[in-house]
Chain A
Amino acid sequence: MKIIELKNVNKKFILHNQKGTVLNVLKNINLEIKTGECIALVGKSGIGKSTFLKMLYGNYLPSSGEINFYNNNKINIANSLEHQIINLRKYFIGYVSQFLRVLPRVPTIEIVSDTLKQQSLFDEHSLIKIKKLLSELNIQESMWNLSPLTFSGGEQQRVNLAKTLIGNYSILLLDEPTASLDDINKSIVIDMIKSKLKKDVTIIVIVHDKKIRNEICTREINLEKYIPNDN
């Protein structure tokens, strides 16, 4: 079943304060993604992989075209009202950015709990579940009540993952989820992604390691074919 559809999507950046420089990044994207697929976005650095994910999340605005999500009805995130996008992000699409961005002073355990609270899934079993997930991701108990802002890069990335993986999303957008992890943590995260796929979650992931792609992904989308020819 079709869950995501891009129609004639173009993305350029106009840098008004840098002499109106136009960066044409992606052009004429037409594609469909089905429920349960695990898509890898590939292409060289700067090609627009993160831009692609951010457009799907409503964080970047396509310069033209439609980005449709099929839930019960169709919703085009490129022209939806703010509260509709917020709602989609709350229940339907989870996004793990390359870098953790959280409020200062909020403890790790609360950051992870918050996802469940937002989804109205927080109940008496939740804390056990959250602690289990954090332990599996090798975030030690002594860190649970601290803000992750002073954690190491790899630890922050694991908190970032925990914050999204605890939730019950239909779609996950993952921007280099294993980039700053050691081999042990990498394989733990890969197993978690696999178990999401077993639950028919649709995943779009940026991951440079070909071995990992072969292990989890059902399809690769090479963004090279969407490079505008005037570049």
Chain B
Amino acid sequence: MNIKKIMHVENLTHFYGNQIGCKGINFDLYKGEILGIVGESGSGKSTLLKCLSGEISPSAGKINISLDQGGVKDFLSLPEQEKRQLMRSMWGIVHQNPRDGLNLRISAGGNIAERLLNVSEKNYSFLRNTGKYWMEKTEMDSDRIDEFPLSFSGGMQQRLQISKILSSNPQIVFMDEPTGGLDVSVQAKILDTIKSIVRDINVTMIIVTHDLAVVRFLTDKLLVMKDGIVVETGLTDRVLDDPQHSYTQLLTSSILQV
């Protein structure tokens, strides 16, 4: 068995002025893995995710990526244009607030199509069918494909954003608290949806969340962060059931058993 390493991160560090965002982060991500990043508020989870996805340029460190085409590349020293192109077509970023990831001026179907157009799919009926297919897959009513995002509830907008991202089959999906702004009952259903989809399409994903129940059933491995650094890493159930670091022990004991 030889699974491809698609991301190699070394000593990744980001400061906001004197303020540590994240520091000395190292890990590898293999194809098909789902990596969870957990830790308390302010521990640097979003900062790390943004460095990885190219939304911010880290102060130091290295990110090597190896995509389906093109061999190993030093992500941080790619020309800006190539970086943008990669993020548009091969990365999928699911924002916490769906409005940040959706184009509110075009229909649901248009939103999905817009993303597919970036990966050069131009056939109209294909675009429409794919839109419907993904709406159904994320448990939306595909008859509402011509409605605009603002006519949907927050939970549906989030489903639409997820459809939009997953439809183009990105090589890495980044999610930062994808259900953070939603009702608890809606959260659970969306996470169910995400779980069932990632099980059958073999996506590679990095997801930030503070919810250990989510982490347990969604992720394969974990980074536990505190004060900008990673204090523990490993197989998800191992980290949760036999935590080694004092902070992880605190984190796992302070929640209801999941």
Contacts and interface: CB of A to CB of B under 8 A. Distances in A.
Contacts, number: 49
A61 B220 contact: no
Contact of B234 (A14, A17, A82): A82
Nearest to A102: B217
Interface stretch (A52-60, A136-144, A218-226): A52-60
Interface in B226-258: 234-235, 237-238, 241-242, 244-246, 249-250, 253
A105 interface: yes
B192 interface: yes
B164 interface: no
Given A17-B250, A82-B235, A83-B220, A59 B242 contact: yes
A103 B195 contact: yes
A54 B30 CA distance: 25
A15 B195 CA distance: 33
Interface residues of B, number: 24
A187 interface: no
Nearest to A18: B249
Interface residues of A, number: 20
Contacts of A84: 1
A54 B238 CA distance: 9
Contacts of B244: 14, 61
Contacts of A30: none
B87 to A, nearest CB: 25
The secondary structure that dominates the B interface is mixed
B33 interface: yes
Contact of B30 (A17, A83, A103): A83
Given A54-B241, A60-B241, A17 B246 contact: yes
A105 B192 contact: yes
A86 interface: yes
Of A14, A17, A82, most B-chain CB atoms within 10 Å: A82
Contacts of B184: none
B148 to A, nearest CB: 31
The listed residue with most A CB atoms (<10 A of its CB), out of B217, B234, B238, B250, is B238
Given A82-B220, A82-B221, A83-B220, A58 B235 contact: yes
Interface of A: 13-17, 54, 58-61, 81-87, 103-105
